[in-house]
Structure formats: C-alpha cells, structure tokens
A and B are shown apart, each in its own frame.
Chain A
Amino acid sequence: MSDIALFLPETVCLLGALVLFCAQVFGARYGVVWGLALLSGVAAVVASVWTWPLAGEPFFPGVYRVDFFSQFVKAIMAAGFLFIAAISGRPQTVRSDAWAEMPMFLLLATTGMMMLTSAMELVTLYISMELAAYPIYIAVALHRSRSIGGESSTKYMLQGMVASAITLYGLSFLFGLSGSTYLGTISSQLGTLATQPLFWLVVLFVLAGFLFKLAAFPFHFWAPDTYQTAPHEVVTFVATASKVAAIAVLCRVVALVAPAGVDAAMASRVLMWMSVAAMTLGNLAALRQGDLKRLLGYSAVAHAGYVLIGIQTMTGAGLTAALFYALGYAAMSALCFLVVVEIGRDEDLVSIESLAGLHQRAPLLAATLLIGLFGLIGLPPTVGFIGKWFLFSAAIEQGQFVFVLVAAINSAVALYYYLLVIRQAYFAEETSDEPIHTGVVTLAVAGGTTGFVIAMGVVPGWFWARSVEAVAALMG
C-alpha cells in the first residue's frame, strides 16, 4: 500500500493517459477528452501535493527514490500539464483528427518526467528519459500543416536522439568505472572516482541528454526551429514542464556527484562556459527575430544559461536558486505562450508584428504578456527579478564576480528584444480592431498564473523555504 502511495502521482498520470487513450478509441468528442485531460491534470496535482510529506524507495530499493525534492518537482510538472490542458480548449494548430491524442501524449511525457526526477538507477534513468522524450517527438509532429510539423519534428527528434545517445554512452562508462548501475553505490565510491578526470568527462556526457531538454549550448539548435513551428500547445509544454524536468534531473545528478568536499572544479568550469555561451548566443540571436515563438526559443536558450549559473556552483544555495528559478521561469514563459496560443489560433506562425494593437483588441491578454515578459527580463515585482538575484548571489558567493557581470550585462542586452515585443503590443498602430475572444477557463488560468508570477516575486519567502527544503532532501 505504502509503495503505491509513494508511486501515486505517476500512477495517476498513467491512468489518466490510459483513460484518454480509451476515450479516443471510442471516438469521444473533443469536449469530453478535454474535460478528462483537465480532470487528470487536477488529479495529478492533488496526488503530487498529497505525497509531499512522504519519503521512501518504493518497489525496488535503491532504484527509485521519493523525497520532498522529487515530489515538489512532480507537483510543478503536474501543474504545468494542467496549465497546458486548460489552454488547449481549441488546439487549432494541431491536426484536427489528432486533437484527442495530444493531451494523451503530453500526459505520458509527464509520467516519464516524473519518473526521471525519482530515478536512482542508470537503466531506470535512461528509460524514464526516453519515456519523457518520445511522446513529445510525436506531439511536435501533430501540426496541422504536414510540411511544418514534419520539419520541426524531424529536427527535434534527430537532435534529441543524438543527445540521448551521448547520455547512454556516458552511462555505460559510468557503469564501467564503478561496476554498478545504482547511483547510490556510485556516489559511495566518489572518493576514488572523483580523482579521475575520465569520471568528470563521463558526468558531462551523462548531462548531455538533460542539457538538450534544457536547450543549453551546445544542444540548443533545435530550440528556435521547434519553438517556431511546433503546435502552440505542444511548445508550451516543451517550454515549461519539460524545462523543469531537465533542471530537476540536473540538480539530482550534480547533488550526487558533487557533495561537499569533492573537487568538481573541472565539470563546474565546463558548465560555466556553457552557461556563458548559451546566454550570450541566445540573447544576441534573439535581437534579430521577427517571429514571436522563435524569439521565445532563443530566449529559452538564454534562460538555460541563467539556470546553469546556479547549477555550476554545485552548492546547495546554487541548486536552490536554480530550482526556485525553474519554478518561476515555467510560470512566466507559460504566460507568454498563453498569449501565443490565443492570438495564434488561426496562424501557423506568430509574428511579432501580429501583436500590434493587442492592448485594445484584448487588454487582459496584453497585460498577461506584459507580466510574462517583465518576468523574463527580470524586473520587479515579478519572480524574474528575485530569481535572478538568488542565482547571481549563489555565483558571487563562489567568487565569480566577472561571470555574474557577464550574466547581468546579458540581461540588459535581452531587455532590447523583449521591449520591442512590449512596444508592439502596447504602442503600435493596430492592423485590425477586431476584439480577440478568450474563453473563461483561459482567462482564469491567465489570472491565476499572473498572480503566481507576482506572488513569487512579492512574497518569495514561502517558495524559497520550499526550495531550500527540497534541495536539503536532495543533498541529504
């Protein structure tokens, strides 16, 4: 019984996916499927939050670990799925005969991501990673235009597979070095392992698959293309829940291989340079974009760089900051994509120009976009400001003054392209004065998420305390 309780969030997601599968087999109307998806999302959130106080290793000891960290992250992912389900009332960029499949695939991917955050054994880790990846490969291809969907899906899948092959290669070395597939056993041998340069190279190999999901340099090439051309709802998932999963598992691996006292300078240095490259490249490339989703894709690359600031410190404070920022980042990019979904209903591609006059056509959507972008820029009172403050603080604590200076200058550069989007929404002459009708559910979700982004910025105490608790569970 207790094992099932520990596995409850994953079970709920799997069952939800099964129910969605049956619903589509029996040809249920999309309205019904949508309702079931929402219901599964709510159930997954409730189940995840309910398991917060639990800890243990269900079924096979040493293979799967449930602690506050994993359950906290699972709740965020479940909330991410619920968010996407809620804005998918009419997913018009998805092929009309595949509407019902989309939530099912996303829910399956959520299951995989949940397992990923708990996996403590190499094979389980790899299987979870693939379970999280494959449904998204398919979902990306569900675009109503076959040529657009085919292109983005192929790029995403090929690059994803290369990254996952690198991870698998790294995992095999890890097994060879330590003679075990259990992360617990491997970490108990750290004393001898950590002195070998090969070990750190292998760790970086292992991280490749997760850096790919995070769209960090040099695994970022898929991001702009896939963001631009995948169905809006699917991109939202890739940009929010999937990012949280990647950050969570990066935290997990780093916490295992670099506890206090282990000299991880080499891996840390490599991650630092990846971070510099990701944020610089992402921000510079974003300056010249005319497509909103593509711009957000490059912005995601830059944000992968910011999150790596926290991870490369390999300290409790850094991982806490990364987790806190992951939570905030998921919410603020969700806000931006909500607006993309609403204004891009009839468009395959969403140009920045099409935002013109948004503040008159849909004042609430314009405000939602404003708060989301303020968050991405890092302005108060949103979580973006304090999130960056925590990340930078963790790096300064390690004496990385110049690195933080580079990151801060990067944020100032990024201001330019975000402001151009805001300018278009609030200032440009409208090309059409036709109001945009937004459903009640979407408005409620927009309001709630906006409130969340501001609440995390104004009263960060509670969220910060939870992040500290989660990382303590991770390191402990």
Chain B
Amino acid sequence: MQLLSEILLCPVGALVLVLLIPARAVQAIRWVCALSALVAGVLSVQLWRTYDAGAGGFQFVEIIPWVEEVGISYHLAVDGFSTILVMLTSIVFFTGVLTMWDLEIRVKEFFAFMLLLVTGVYGVFLSQDLFFFFLFYEVAVVPMYPLILIWGSGNREYAAMKLVLFLLAGSALLFPALLAIYHASGLGTFNMILLAQKAFDPDFQIFVYPFVFFGFGVLAGLFPFHGWSPTGHVAAPSAVSMLHAGVLMKLGAYGILAVGIRLLPVGAVYWAPTFATLAAIGVVYGAFVAIRQTDFKFVIGFSSVSHMGIVVLGLNLAVLGKAGQDALNGAVFQMFAHGIMTALFFSTVGFIYDRAHSKTIADFGGLGSQMPRAVSVFIVAGLCGAGVPGLASFWAELLVFLAALKTYPALGVVIIVGLVLTAIYVIRVFSQAFFGPVNDKWDDLRGLDLKGWQILPRAILVAVLVYFGFFPSALLDVIDGTTSTVLTSFR
C-alpha cells in the first residue's frame, strides 16, 4: 500500500477497531485513537519531507478504477497545498484526541464520530477524483451533528441543526455544479487533474463558478453565510471545535481552490473583484463583532470568520494577476497557521471551561495568576491571531496584505483595519480576564492548571506556531512550486 492510502487508512482502521472494542474499554479506545493519530502524524511528516517541492505538481499518485462506466476512480495524489493541509489535519487530530482524553460520556461513540470526521477531512485533501472529493466532503460534515448535539454545551441543539443545515445547503449548490462540470467536459471522467487541463467554455465557467464558490464558501465561513460557524464553535466540545475551526473550515477554502480556481479559471477571474470584496467585508465584520462578545468562544468564533476572510481574500486576489504568487502563498499559509492557532485557542478555552464551568469573559479577572500556564498558552494564540512577528500567522497575513496593496490598495487598508481590530479584541480579553484585579471566586482553580501530559497537546501546537514563525520557508517552499503551477492559467 502506498503512502497516501496509508494515511487515509489510519482513521478508517481506528474506526473499525473502535467499533469492535466494547464500550466499557474506554482506555483501549483512547489509545487506539491516539496511536492512529500518531501514526498518521508521522506519515504526514514523512509526506511533507519527501514531497519534491522543486518538481511541484501532483505526486504519490494512486488510481484504482471504481465505477468505470461513469469514470469514477479511487484516485489519490497530493500537491504542495494538500501536503501541508494533510500535516495540519494530523497535528489537529493528534492534539484533539489528547485534549479529549478525560472525556467520560459515551466515549466510544464520540471517538467513532471523530474518526469518521477525520476520515472525511483526509479524504478531501487527498482525493483527485471529483466524486470522491464530494463524498469525503459530506463524510466530514455530517458527524458534526451528533458531536455537537450529544457532547456539546449551551444551545447545542440549535447550533448543531443550524450548522448541518447551512453546510448541506452549501452541498446542494455543489451537487449540480460538480455534475455540470463533469458533463460539460465531455471527457467522461471525474479525474480532477484531467478536468483541470480542459478549457471550459467561458460562459459556462462564469455561470457555474458562483455555485462552487458559495457551495464551498459556506464551510469556509464566508460572509454573509457564516452564521452557523460561531454558534457551532461555541456549542461544540473542545476537540470538535478544534477540528471544526482548525481543519473543517479549511475544506471550504481548499474546495474553492481545488475545484473553483483550478477547474474554472475564467469564472474565477470574472467573479474575483466581487468575491474579494465579500471576503474583505468578512475580515472587518468578523473582527468588529468579536470585539463586542462576552463569551470566550464567541470571540474566537468570530475571529475565525475574520481570519478565514483573509484566506478567501487571498484566493481571489491570486487570480487577478498583479501579485498572485504572494496572495496564493499567503492564503494557503494562512490556512495552516489559522488551523493551528484556533486549535490552540479551543484546546485551551475548553480546558479552562471544564474547570471553571464558565466562559464569560467578565466573570474572570486576573486569571493569569491563578492558571498561569493555560493563560500563557492562550496568550500565544492571541498574539498569533493579531499577527505578531515570530508566529506563523504573521507571514500569512503579511503576504496577503502585500498582495492586496498591489492589487487593490483599498483592500490592503481593510486588512490593516482588520488586524488593528484583532489586536483590540485580543487585548480586551487579556486585560479583562487574565490581568487586572484578581477575582477571588476562582482561587480554587490554582491547583487545576495545566500539568503533566495535559501540557503536551498545547506544547505541540505552540511549538508548531513558533517554528513556522521563525522558519516560514519550510512551508513556503512546499507551497510555492504548486502556486506557480496553478497560476500559469492566469498569466
């Protein structure tokens, strides 16, 4: 079996094992998940190290015909983008399992659904067959419903239903669009690499592209279809928020890139100014709304809307030509950086919530002296969100910012406004909850700070943010070659 199938097999195999293990054997279930995540992580790092960035293009290709009559095949391959996104998934998967180690309620079902979700995510990043791409996309979305409904908190029934309805409404736009691409190509295949070489009729592209863009855009938290995202984040348990904001939303952006921009370049260019504006509104809107939130998780939820806006903005700037390379590099880098950053946010907020049973910012005060380690971790994530140099997001936001200045200076200003607003809401949380007068109510949290192995998942995430903050080229080198290939159709 080849590397990509091995990566995909990790969650699938673990899922089968978990289903076979009796529900009482909680410890065994946790270990199966952790080990499968670890193996997937090692394989992903191996993929990252062995992917030949100089050669670019699709590598590690595996094709097995599946329904030959209609041209569906099990077809895996990675380019530079999916290589780093697979690595992102593995990191969030592993740290997510560790974050949920203490879960006691219906453990078997929780990890089964989580593994199903992760299977879907890997599948989307690895598939180069349009049918399987969409199939895995649906597999990734649906487990969110039970995960939020059963293990969530607060207004979970509302949040779970809203999330699934929004996302499947997005799929409803994709269904006819993807099939239209298949039939319009006349190739009789769902092979995305072959479809990308086909020059579709410009009118067709202009007609279909919005369906693809909005269909995937819903999952990317695109303004004005982001409503599901903050409520979903807030209600979901920690690891689910981590996967959801860290990885799932990236599926949306990746879908726009892999299907929209790759297959329908003319449509992408035609709509780019409009959609870039929408994304820019999302950047500022998300940040503004985050400032007024009283709940930790809502702040992070809206910050995700804002940060994913930067990704989508980068994707749209990329096709406009003037600074495409920077814009696309920045967008993909931001997918990675934002994924790690939000995973860190939710991992830590979830930790504090589990102990304090509150996530209202105003409830706290001087928490920094009560839970110094958890608060430090949160501060790292916050600084990363604000785009502080030395952390991974800095490079991503810088690249998109530069591209925006070159393409539409007004949009560059918008990004700066967004970053300033981000700094405001981050600092507001810091000052109200972590510093200032100590609230005695939480003195009994002193003994409950991160300790022992609980530090591990957070330490991994912090290390990744810092590493790529100092060595951005380790990612950029892998991304850059693929960016050039993708952008050849726009020059």
Contacts and interface: CB of A to CB of B under 8 A. Distances in A.
Interface of A: 374, 379-381, 385, 388-390, 392-393, 396-397, 401, 404-405, 408-409, 411-412, 415-416, 419, 422-423, 426-427, 460-461, 464-465, 468
B164 A464 contact: no
Given A379-B138, A385-B138, A404-B176, A465 B168 contact: no
A370 to B, nearest CB: 9
A430 to B, nearest CB: 14
Interface of B: 66-70, 131, 135-136, 138-139, 142, 145-146, 149-150, 157, 161, 164-165, 168-169, 171-173, 175-176, 179-180, 182-183, 211
A458 to B, nearest CB: 10
Contacts of A415: 164-165, 168
Contacts of A416: 161, 165
Contacts of B150: 426-427
A404 B179 contact: yes
Nearest to B142: A379
Nearest to A464: B67
Contacts of B68: 461
B173 A427 contact: no
A464 B161 CA distance: 34
B172 A423 contact: no
Contacts of B175: 388-389, 392, 404-405, 408, 411
Given A380-B135, A460-B67, A408 B172 contact: yes
Contacts of A408: 171-173, 175-176
Nearest to B146: A426
B149 A427 contact: yes
Contacts of B161: 416, 419
B172 A409 contact: yes
A467 to B, nearest CB: 10
Nearest to A396: B179
A275 B400 CA distance: 47
Contacts of A392: 175-176, 179
Contact of B169 (A401, A409, A426, A461): A409
A31 to B, nearest CB: 35
B67 A412 contact: no
26 contacts: A379-B142, A381-B135, A381-B139, A388-B175, A389-B179, A392-B179, A393-B70, A393-B182, A393-B183, A396-B180, A397-B183, A404-B175, A404-B176, A404-B179, A405-B172, A405-B175, A408-B172, A408-B176, A416-B161, A422-B146, A426-B146, A426-B149, A426-B150, A460-B67, A464-B69, A465-B69
Given A419-B145, A422-B145, A422-B146, 7 more contacts: A389-B131, A392-B179, A393-B182, A405-B175, A412-B171, A412-B172, A427-B150
B129 to A, nearest CB: 12
B170 to A, nearest CB: 9
Contacts of A460: 67
B154 to A, nearest CB: 15
Contacts of B136: 380
Which of B70, B165, B171, B211 has most chain A Cβ within 10 Å?
B70
A461 B73 CA distance: 11
Contacts of A393: 70, 179, 182-183
A376 to B, nearest CB: 13
Contacts of A412: 165, 168-169, 171-172
B263 to A, nearest CB: 15
Contacts of A404: 175-176, 179
Given A419-B164, A427-B149, A461-B66, A396 B169 contact: no
A416 B161 CA distance: 7
Contacts, number: 82
Interface of B is mostly: helix
A461 B67 CA distance: 5
Q: Which 10 A-B pairs have the closest CB atoms?
A: A408-B172, A408-B175, A404-B176, A396-B179, A412-B172, A412-B168, A409-B172, A412-B169, A380-B135, A405-B176
Given A393-B70, A408-B171, A408-B172, A380 B138 contact: yes
B139 A401 contact: no
Contacts of B171: 408, 412
A346 B66 CA distance: 45
B380 to A, nearest CB: 36
A465 B172 CA distance: 27
Interface centre among B67, B146, B150 (most CB of A within 10 A): B67
A423 B160 CA distance: 10
Contacts of B69: 464-465, 468
A468 B68 CA distance: 12
A346 to B, nearest CB: 29
Nearest to A457: B135
Contacts of B157: 423
Contacts of A427: 146, 149-150
Nearest to A388: B175
Nearest to A367: B19
A415 B165 CA distance: 7
Contacts of B182: 393, 396
Contacts of A396: 176, 179-180, 182-183
A208 B131 CA distance: 36
Contacts of A419: 145, 161, 164
A426 B136 CA distance: 24
Among A380, A426, A460, A461, find the residue whose CB has the most chain B CB atoms closer than 10 A: A380
Most chain B CB within 10 A, of A379, A422, A460, is at: A379
A427 B183 CA distance: 42
A401 B175 CA distance: 10
A385 B174 CA distance: 14
A396 B178 CA distance: 10
B139 A380 contact: yes
Contacts of A423: 149, 157
A316 B312 CA distance: 41
A374 B164 CA distance: 13
A433 B157 CA distance: 23
B180 A401 contact: yes
Contacts of B67: 460-461, 464
B164 A405 contact: no
A144 to B, nearest CB: 37
A416 B172 CA distance: 14
A248 B172 CA distance: 28
Contacts of B176: 392, 396, 401, 404-405, 408
Nearest to A404: B176
A464 B176 CA distance: 21
Contacts of A405: 172-173, 175-176, 211
Nearest to B211: A405
A329 to B, nearest CB: 18
B179 to A, nearest CB: 4
Contacts of B146: 422, 426-427
A225 B387 CA distance: 61
Contacts of B139: 379-381
Nearest to A420: B161
Contacts of B149: 423, 426-427
A415 B167 CA distance: 11
A379 B142 CA distance: 8
Contacts of B168: 411-412, 415
Contacts of B66: 461
Contacts of A426: 146, 149-150
A210 B136 CA distance: 37
Contacts of A401: 176, 180
B216 to A, nearest CB: 15
A95 to B, nearest CB: 40
B228 to A, nearest CB: 13
Contacts of B180: 396, 401
